[in-house]
């Protein structure tokens, strides 16, 4: 678990260092909404499961980071703690 106010810095560092076939999973406290970020070759795939069910694809981690920050604000507006994990796919 990580505080919502600390997730932006951790996400930026982890996106920059993410290896191929690894994914970052961010879930709400109740685990009913989630964001799954996968790196395949040189592309980032963001799978949003919550209020919206959308898949985004980005070529650059900086663009991916900016969009994921917007998604976090939209998906988890009242959350103070989130589940955060990095996994190999």
pLDDT band with cut points at 50, 70 and 90 for residue 37: very high
Q: pLDDT digits over 54-75, tens only?
A: 999 999 999 999 999 999 999 9
So what's the pLDDT on residue 17?
95
So what's the pLDDT on residue 38?
98
Burial of 89 (0-12, 13-18, 19+ CB in 10 A): exposed
Looking from the CA of 23 toward its CB, the CA atoms found within 13 Å total 14
- The rounded mean pLDDT for the chain is 94
| Kind of pairing between the strands at 43-49 and 22-27 | unpaired
pLDDT band with cut points at 50, 70 and 90 for residue 89: confident
């Amino acid at each position: 678990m990580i505080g919502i106010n600390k997730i932006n810095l951790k996400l930026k560092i982890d996106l920059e260092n993410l290896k191929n076939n690894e994914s970052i999973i961010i879930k709400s406290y109740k685990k009913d909404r989630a964001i799954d970020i996968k790196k395949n070759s040189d592309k980032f795939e963001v799978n949003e499961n919550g209020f919206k069910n959308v898949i985004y694809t980005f070529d650059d981690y900086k663009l991916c980071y900016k969009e994921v920050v917007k998604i976090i604000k939209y998906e988890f507006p009242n959350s103070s703690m989130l589940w955060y994990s990095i996994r190999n796919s």
